[in-house]
Amino acid sequence: MIEISVHTGEDAHAQWADARFRAEWAALADACPWSTVFQGPAFVTTWYDVYRDRKRPLILEGRGADGSLVGLLTLAEDVESGVVPCAGAPIAEYQTWLATEECGGPFIQKALPVLRSVTKAPLVRFLSLSPGSPTGWCRSPEAGVRTDVRAHDRPLMSLDDLAALQASLKKKSNRNRLSRLRRLGEVRLLHLASAERLEPYLEEILADYDVRQGAAYGVSPFTEDPLMGPFYRRLAAQTDCLHVTALVAGDKVAAANLGFTNGKQVVLGVIAHSAELASSSPAMLLIRLSAELLSDQGYEELDLTIGGSYKWRFASHSDQVEVLDAYLSRWAHWKHLIRRTAVAVNRRVITKLGWGEEELRSRLRLVARRMKHLRRQPLSRWPSVAREWSSSTNPLAVYYRETPPEMRDNSEASVLVGALKPLSYYDEVGSATDRTEFLQNALRRLEKGATPYSIIEGGRLLYVAWSGGESCLETIPGAENLRIPEGASLVFGDYAHPDAQADEALRSTLRRRFVELASSAPGRPVLAFVDPAWQGYTDLLESMGFWEWDRIGVRTERPTTAGQGSAEHPEDPSRATPVEPP
């Protein structure tokens, strides 16, 4: 006999804060065979406290006939959407309930129907269940709720064979990668085991992660959820849940993992790496070096977690974890069945037509992304956005100067040089470029060594502009095959938010770029790529001694004389052959 009781809101806060209840909770977590760090009181109560104003705690506890705690399900209701995730989601890699071994199925089977009576949420998703979580009850006609269970292969890395871990690092390819990083200074693997050690590196780690996640999935977790950073800080300061490693080259974080300790395992968590050092595969080096460190520290396994095909390169073995959807409403379950049937039919059609499923998915994602982006624009902007989408290239005027103009360094405090975090503040309203595409372009530029110059205000990116070397040509649409003088510096990629004082921001960022170029690349030619319709920009360049050298993205007619440079292009030997990509 299991008696279920529910605690919500302030009652739930009082319950988890009670020392006696927390002691029972900790004992149950120790006794539960499938418990992980993400169900323990240290992790969950820290999350409840940090998210107090945004997530309403929802705790279901099960007690046996003797009054002992035999089951516990910690959830939270979003105060705005009403969605009910497991406590700690989406940070918690494993989401499950706690129970004694004999009560694992009976507790959850009884708790979910009770949950249905206290929330309007259509479902609860456990993404992913920790290995060993009982799911046999899902197939029972007495399950109480409709469920859907899906299995996924999970890559794991054994830490027992230290010699094999060390041998991998001695391969020529890995030695070369480490050598490239050493050009920045000493390469060190740091275990950031305290809040004090983590803090100097944390903002850089989170900025790297947000830009890359935004480019891949259109979501920058730490930017969009301002409580996520403080949550990690609280975990580092008040618990032993985290295991953080960072690969540092000189004073630059090449890669880092905000992982979690889980008994004899460490769970891969937020894994970030520097875009500008991507050619050295720093995340791969971090995982291999961290494995050696973890082995020395007595851990037996690195849990690489589901998702991300690259993880299988490091796996020594695998098992399976499951995703469980528990439907609290019949209509929600019917919608799931209809959607699943539609997906199966589409897959069969794609197979018969001989289309590539991944390519089709990519195109459908692009269409969905653009429609979502269009809905965010004012109606008056729709025609111009559609026109920009239908155009494969936009016209750019290329302005030339022999050397960077000499400018006084007024140290514009509002211009942030080389900072990644402002890029995640991009607001797509008023632009034809959606957030994912913007960050993809930014990531390519960073990987080619370009430097962003940003202005932010009120949590929005008002202006960003770029400078870089020859390799950045590949990131400018229409300029990929442009032949330019060897060693030239590029100024390009100016973006202004509709609310920005564009001309003022232009002058500030342009001044900073030219001051930096005069210091880092003195005596080298400068090419500026400009929208020719931006009269203020072209006039400013011409006042600094630039002249229009070329046009790209549009058909232009230029008289030339064989064997001589054109009026647009002075005689220059470097223009005889195209510049090879690096």
Partners of 550 in the β-ladder:
398
Cα-trace Rg, the chain: 28
Hey, which bits of 263-334 come out as E strands? 265-273, 301-303, 317-327
448: its two tokens? 């080619």
Q: Kindly list the domain boundaries of the chain, sorted by start residue.
A: 3-152, 160-299, 396-575
Which residue stretches of 247-300 are H helix? 282-296
Q: How far, in Å, CA of 131 to CA of 154, rounded?
A: 10
For residue 122, give the nearest of 85, 152, 69, 164 by alpha carbon. Answer: 85
> How many whole angstroms from its chain centre is CA 563?
51
Q: Are 455 and 500 in contact (CB under 8 A)?
A: yes
- Give the number of other Cβ atoms within 10 Å of residue 204's Cβ: 20
Q: Are strands 301-303 and 265-273 parallel, antiparallel or unpaired?
A: parallel
User: Would you call 463 helix, strand, or coil by DSSP?
Assistant: strand
- CA separation, residue 9 to residues 12, 75, 78, 108 (Å): 5, 11, 11, 21
- CA separation, residue 181 to residues 113, 178, 273, 314, 452 (Å): 56, 5, 13, 21, 22
For position 568, what pLDDT does the model report?
31
3-state helix, strand, coil in the chain (%, to 5): 45, 25, 35
- Superfamily covering domain 396-575: Gcn5-related N-acetyltransferase (GNAT) (3.40.630.30)
For residue 433, give the nearest of 399, 384, 467 by alpha carbon. Answer: 384
Q: Which helix (H) or strand (E) holds 527?
A: strand 526-530
Local structure of residue 109 (DSSP, 8 states): H
- φ, ψ of residue 151 to 5 degrees: the values are -100, 145
- φ, ψ of residue 336 to 5 degrees: the values are -65, -45
For residue 59, give the nearest of 29, 78, 86 by alpha carbon. Answer: 86
Q: How far, in Å, CA of 488 to CA of 176, rounded?
A: 28
For residue 221, give the nearest of 293, 272, 184 by alpha carbon. Answer: 272
pTM for this model (two decimals): 0.85
C-alpha atoms less than 13 angstroms from C-alpha of 2 in its C-beta half-sphere: 21
Local structure of residue 415 (DSSP, 8 states): P
User: Would you call 271 helix, strand, or coil by DSSP?
Assistant: strand
Q: Residues 530-578: pLDDT tens digits?
A: 999 999 999 999 999 999 999 987 433 333 323 323 323 333 322 222 2
What single string gives the DSSP state of each residue in 43-105?
HHHHHHHHTTTTEEEEEEEEE-TTS-EEEEEEEEEETTT---PBTTTTT-S----EE-GGGHH
The set of residues, in sequence order, having a beta carbon less than 8 Å from that of 78 and lying 6+ positions away, is 54, 55, 56, 84, 85
The set of residues, in sequence order, having a beta carbon less than 8 Å from that of 256 and lying 6+ positions away, is 201, 205, 208, 244, 245, 246, 247, 270, 271, 272, 273, 286
70: its two tokens? 């035999």
Q: Are 248 and 188 in contact (CB under 8 A)?
A: yes
Q: How far, in Å, CA of 398 to CA of 485, rounded?
A: 13
For the chain (582 residues), the mean pLDDT of every run of 10, in chain order, is 94 95 98 98 98 97 96 96 95 98 95 92 93 93 86 96 83 93 96 98 97 92 96 97 98 97 97 94 96 95 94 95 91 76 70 62 62 64 61 79 87 85 88 86 95 94 96 91 94 93 92 94 95 93 95 50 30 27 26
For residue 76, give the nearest of 145, 13, 32 by alpha carbon. Answer: 13
For position 64, what pLDDT does the model report?
96
Topology of domain 160-299, per CATH? Answer: Aminopeptidase (3.40.630)
For position 163, what pLDDT does the model report?
83
Q: Are 282 and 273 in contact (CB under 8 A)?
A: yes
42: its two tokens? 């240290």
Q: Can you say whether the dihedral through the CA atoms of 156, 158, 164, 168 is positive or negative? A: positive
Hey, which bits of 420-477 come out as E strands? 451-457, 460-468
In one-letter notation, the amino acid at residue 359 is E
For position 308, what pLDDT does the model report?
87
Topology of domain 3-152, per CATH? Answer: Aminopeptidase (3.40.630)
Hey, which bits of 159-217 come out as E strands? 187-191
For residue 536, give the nearest of 495, 504, 576 by alpha carbon. Answer: 504
Same fold, 160-299 and 396-575: yes
- CA separation, residue 445 to residues 31, 281, 401, 492, 510 (Å): 51, 17, 22, 10, 18
Q: How far, in Å, CA of 98 to CA of 72, rounded?
A: 5
Q: Are 22 and 45 in contact (CB under 8 A)?
A: yes
Sheet containing 252-262: order of strands: 123-126, 317-327, 146-158, 301-303, 265-273, 252-262, 242-249, 187-191
Sheet containing 451-457: order of strands: 416-417, 451-457, 460-468, 489-496, 526-530, 396-401, 547-552
